[in-house]
Structure 1
C-alpha cells in the first residue's frame, strides 16, 4: 500500500510529535491499535499517532487496500467488540496538515512547560 505523501514527509523530517501526541514508532503498538479499531468499527486503519494521556489514536483509513489521505482521530473503548451506541467517537480531518493545525497544535499550546523543555535536548 502506498503511504500518503504528507505522512512520508513527516517521517522523513523525523517528526516526533507534539505533546501529548506522539508518532507511533513501534510496530507492535501500531498493530494492537489497528486490531482494536477493526474490532470496534469493522474498518481498517493505518494508525500513526497516539495521545499519551488517553486512548485516542490518529490514523489513515484503509479502503479497498488503499490508504486514504484523510485522518481519523478515534477514541477507542477497548471493549474488543463492534460498538453500536455512538462509539468509538471519531473525528475526520481532510489531511494530516488539517489534523496538525486543528487538533494537535492547539492542544500542544496547553501542554508546553519549562519542565518538559528540561527533558528535551536542545541544539
Structure 2
C-alpha cells in the first residue's frame, strides 16, 4: 500500500503544519500502518479495518480512517475497543464522520471546548 499519497490530504496538511495536539485529542505525527490498535480494531470489528491516526488522552478512544480493500478512505471512525475478542452486541465504532474536517469540527473542537472550561493550560506545558 502506498503510504502518504493515500492518506487523506486534510490529515497530511495538519501533520505537516504540526497541528497534532488538541487537548484532549492527540494525532500521530507519523501514522503507524502496523499499529496494535489497527490490529485490535480488526479483531473486534471483523468486517471493517481502520488506519488509526489519533486518540483521546483521557480514555481508550481512538480515531482513524476506514480502510476498504487496502484503500484508505476519507471517512473517520471514532472507536473504543474493549481490548478483548469480538464481543457479540458490542459495536466498537462510536461515531463515523464523512471526512477529517467533519471529525475536527464536530468531535475534536467540541471536546476541546469542554476541556478548556475545566482545565488550566499550565498543566499541559
Shorter-chain TM-score tier: 0.7 to 0.9
1:37 paired to 2:41: yes
1:110 paired to 2:114: yes
Report the counterpart of residue 21 of structure 1 in structure 2.
25
Say whether the 8 Å CA contact 2:31–2:52 is kept in structure 1.
no
Unaligned runs of 5+ in 2: none
> SS in structure 2 opposite 1:8?
helix
Query: Which whole-Å CA distance do the structure 2 matches of 1:57 and 1:45 have between them?
Result: 10
TM-superposed deviation, 1:44:
1.6
Instruction: Give per-residue Cα distances to partners, 1:39-96, cap 9 Å, x unaligned.
Output: 10022211001011111100001001100000000011111x1232032143110111
Moved over 6 A (4+): none
TM-score of the aligned structures, taking structure 1 as reference length = 0.85
1:61 paired to 2:66: yes
Q: CA separation of 1:62/1:89 partners in 2, compared to 1, >3 Å: closer, same or farther?
A: closer
Measured on the aligned residues, the alpha-carbon RMSD in Å equals 2.0
TM-score of the aligned structures, taking structure 2 as reference length = 0.84
